[in-house]
Structure 1
């Protein structure tokens, strides 16, 4: 519980309100605020949980695809660098003279 809310509840209790009633009010206010926030975000309907699960799956698939693409690109760059190194060594060692 935040310090401000705790202080307000302490003051209300001093003025005669019971602590369990104040806690119930705070809990109800929190649930109402959360429901209102979800509604504003468009997540207040029954299908929202399914939509969020699908979005998480889609995001996980996107991350997997991005990771795979990065690994593939690194693999190609590594192979290209190795091929260039071999070509450089062949030229340096006079491979073209051996072919003729």
Structure 2
């Protein structure tokens, strides 16, 4: 049973025992609002600068992802170049280029 089903069951039970559905929904809405405000306060995101802080965090996270992707591409590029250089050296050795140069 998930939270939505649990809440619906509790609301049905309260209504059956004589509570008004509108009042129960208002209670649930207020409890949700209080819970979300409490969580934002615990996270330190309950002030006016929270929107800017979250925006900056998103930008920082995107910059980190971009830097990580760029670093990965650079490492792969260098690895490919190293393999190609070794392949060329192997071919040069195989065809005797060292003896031709002497």
TM interval, short-chain normalised:
over 0.9
Q: Tell me the C-alpha RMSD between the 2 structures.
A: 1.0
- State the alpha-carbon separation in 1 of the partners of residues 100 and 59 from structure 2: 57
TM-score, length basis structure 1: 0.95
Structure 1 counterpart of 2:91: 89
| Structure 2, gaps ≥5 residues long | none
Match of 1:75 in 2: 77
Deviation at 1:7, TM superposition (A): 1.4
| CA deviation vs aligned residue, 1:31-54 (integer Å, no higher than 9, x gap) | 110110110111111111110110
Residue of structure 2 equivalent to 1:35: 37
Deviations 1:70-91 (A, max 9, x none): 0011001100110110011101
Q: Distance in 2 between matches of 1:32 and 1:15?
A: 25
Q: TM-score, normalised by structure 2?
A: 0.93
